[in-house]
Amino acid sequence: MGIQQVKASVITIGDELLIGQTIDTNSAWMAQELNKIGIWVHRRVAVGDVWDDIWHALQEEERLSQLILITGGLGPTADDITKPLLCHYFGGRMVVDPGALANVKHIFEELLKRPLIERNLKQAEVPDVCRVLQNRRGTAPGMWFEKEGRIFISMPGVPHEMKGMMTYDILPELQERFTLPVIEHRSLLTAGMGESFLAERIADFETQLPSNIKLAYLPSYGMVRLRLTATGRSERLVAELEAEFDMLKSLVQDILVTDHDIPMQEVVGQLLAERGKTIGTAESCTGGYIAHLLTSIPGSSRYFQGSIISYANAIKTDLLGVDPDVIARHGAVSRETAVQMVRGAKASLGTDFVMVTTGIMGPEGGSPEKPVGTVWIGLGYGDAIETHPFHFRFDRQRNTELTAAHGLNALRKFILQHS
Amino acid sequence: MGIQQVKASVITIGDELLIGQTIDTNSAWMAQELNKIGIWVHRRVAVGDVWDDIWHALQEEERLSQLILITGGLGPTADDITKPLLCHYFGGRMVVDPGALANVKHIFEELLKRPLIERNLKQAEVPDVCRVLQNRRGTAPGMWFEKEGRIFISMPGVPHEMKGMMTYDILPELQERFTLPVIEHRSLLTAGMGESFLAERIADFETQLPSNIKLAYLPSYGMVRLRLTATGRSERLVAELEAEFDMLKSLVQDILVTDHDIPMQEVVGQLLAERGKTIGTAESCTGGYIAHLLTSIPGSSRYFQGSIISYANAIKTDLLGVDPDVIARHGAVSRETAVQMVRGAKASLGTDFVMVTTGIMGPEGGSPEKPVGTVWIGLGYGDAIETHPFHFRFDRQRNTELTAAHGLNALRKFILQHS
């Protein structure tokens, strides 16, 4: 049997997505997982809790895709109209599913220890023209419909419920059903060169790529991630992709951060783990964000020890031993304060490496000499201390994110240089 | 002139959105801002860097909406095909825009101090059938097209560039162009009651709502946000909405967290600011995430003083004075350790309130007695100490988010009770 190219659409349903109250993280996750098994999501559509808009989206995606995944609109409340609509669309009638009913009862009686009400029982009703996908993580069942060679799968919008259903039921079934092509990605992260200069440097490389391998540029926070994607049928595909990826790596050797698809905090964590070194942070302006990023990586307790978040100057002087005179003379946001924070953090936390931040994130607190976005990063290892000034020009959130990204990149180079 | 109902579609372009490498935060922001001025985004569509898919999306949205906003696909590299496609779609030819050229030159020569290369100059080229929107935050210009009563606006995908263009140019122009209806939202947050029980309680309220006011349920982290949305033309609209919102508030008085559309960390921050009280945290399992949430609110330095992130046990004993025997006897994740962390945090940070966390976030570190998701929260004020155990059952990220959400809600009640 030949390889089958399956094109998929994702439809997300809910007013909250259209008024901007909720950011859709579901469809990115779904696309990623489908991509891994060789299904290309070529369209994602979001519509509100509006009968005609949902109906139209189903019709349109049915025309364009063989697989249509639907999330949202399955809750127990009156704003959710997806289930009756699907029943109508596929020409069925509502019946109680015994498996879904047992699941709802189990959740309420055994786990929540709450009485079941009529509204919850309704969650066990499904159109009689679908196959039910049991929800291992909640009350709303999934539904698998087929119509003229098209597959429609409706899932709850709660991310961990959707993920459970995809992982345990839907992805394995799709892999069994179709003979899918191989899609492979390799990506690397560069720092220190703008997108257009990088493009000049690798223009010849891009031109010579075979037609089944695509290059993409993904800039973020002043760094650029490059991604090669190969699509194909043969066993040689991975070897071909690896050869091209090796060539690309050699072209960006001097600005290469990592040749894995991992975030900067994981790159730093791996360097520390390999060297058996520990780290701690002293954060003023980033308020714990860098510690949060470092500890978001599983197993980070091997190298991350702790932090002192010195938002108030009293904490800088009491817990980090920063001289109040230095703050009075140079300001809390200064090279001098950053240096004293490095010394204090090393003494208090006792880690091999320390990283400190002090800056003005905005919207308040800026001055003509030190506008919003002024940041000092400090790094320490043994007796070595390094400081870096930054001048970001954005809002509070982005200034914080940029400080973390550039600070962690400076830390990465500092670790490579000193250990 | 009568009120005009303008329906909008948002099209986002880029393979990175479809393989799940990037989460789309742009369209949520755009929808929110458009909604504020009375434009309803009824569809959001994401397509890849594929000529036919982009072309089809333009045709389809042109049929369904009067306003089509497009982001992405305008970078200087070869994977970006949006600009030539738009030129072709609207039947123009590419010309250099003097304003865009001056902007590109200014950015490279004055700000980046780097030589301009051919590829950057190309960014100043635009179809001669559009009006150029200058980019105050980057090199890629925006483009405003009109065709048979439809408006198409193309913007860069870099969030802060898109936001600048929307804020300074597009939103004001749309408001001038159309006589838009009033759309008003009111939302409140409840904690401690499931969605279906809440729905039972307010069923009669929902039934009596006038047809121009809609109720939506937005559950997250075991809490439920309720949103009323009113659409209309008269000056009485806001008064009508306020009256319904007051009724809703009175129905959920006992479980009400806030009647503003703000996150829990801002609710807590307001309580502290009103009372002139300070707070600090000692975080083990949350690794600085709660400090990050608290400091993400502008002006949080009025009440947030600092934190000790005690990831390693040595930090718990050295900086928080936790007795090593207590850790040895009861474990780092225990009520006893949480209590000592509260005392230590109060002594070290000197704040009025303290909040501490210790737990096992996973995937490693669990045991039969203390599985992954076991968390102790501790709260302190004066001599009062309160502890709460939690048992979450999810992955590292969600366990961390749930700890923060439930911990901050416990803190909120603790503040109300003690000051």
User: A182-258, what's its fold?
Assistant: Alpha-Beta Plaits (3.30.70)
pLDDT at B171 over 80: yes
Query: What pLDDT score was predicted for residue A155?
Result: 96
Contact A28 B27 (CB under 8 A): no
Say if A301 is an interface residue toward chain B (CB within 8 Å): yes
pLDDT for res B79? 64
Q: CB-CB: which of B35, B197, B365 is closest to A20?
A: B35
Predicted local distance difference test score (pLDDT) of residue A78: 57
By the CB < 8 Å criterion, does B231 face chain A? no
At residue A79, the pLDDT reads 64
pLDDT digits (tens, 9 = 90+) for B381-417: 999 999 999 999 888 988 999 999 999 999 999 999 9
Domain coordinates of chain A in residue numbers?
7-177, 182-258, 264-418
Q: Which residues, numbered 155 to 194 in chain B, qualify as contacts with chain A under a Cβ-Cβ cut-off of 8 Å?
A: 158, 160, 185, 187, 194
A:B CB pairs within 8 Å: 307
**Residues above pLDDT 70, as percent of chain A:** 99
Give the closest-approach CA distance of A290 to chain B in angstroms: 8
A106 pLDDT higher than 70: yes
Q: What is the CATH number of domain A7-177?
A: 3.40.980.10
Chain A 193-222, CB below 8 Å of chain B: which residues?
194-197, 199-200, 206, 214-219
> Under CATH, which number does the domain A264-418 receive?
3.90.950.20
What is the per-residue pLDDT across B32-89, written as a single tens digit (0 to 9) for each? 899 889 899 999 999 998 999 999 999 999 999 999 999 998 877 656 789 999 999 9
Distance of CA B302 to the CA centre of its chain: 23
- B291 with A309: Cβ contact below 8 A: yes
Separation between Cα atoms, residue A388 and residue A376, nearest integer Å: 6
Taking the C-alpha atoms of A148, A151, A154 and A159 in order, what is their torsion angle to the nearest 10 degrees?
-160
Determine whether the interchain pair A28/B24 forms a contact, defined as Cβ–Cβ distance below 8 Å: yes
Q: In chain A, which residues have their Cβ closer than 8 Å to the Cβ of B219?
A: 75, 158
Same fold, A7-177 and A264-418: no
A276-290: per-residue pLDDT in tens?
999 999 999 999 999
Per DSSP, helices labelled H in A65-138 are 82-89, 98-106, 118-121
B119-to-A218, A253, B125, B401 alpha-carbon distances in Å: 17, 23, 11, 43
Q: How far apart are CA B342 and CA B352, in angstroms?
A: 11
Helix (H, G, I), strand (E, B) or coil at B114: coil
Q: Which residues contact B234 (CB under 8 A, 6 or more apart)?
A: none
Tell how many helices (H) and how many strands (E) occur in chain A.
Answer: 17, 17
Nearest of B86, B99, B202, B208 to residue B155 by alpha carbon: B86
Provide ipTM, 2 decimals: 0.84
Whether residue B315 contacts residue B341, with contact meaning beta carbons closer than 8 Å, is answered with no
What is the reported pLDDT for A216? 84
pLDDT per residue over B339-357, tens digit each? 999 999 999 999 999 999 9
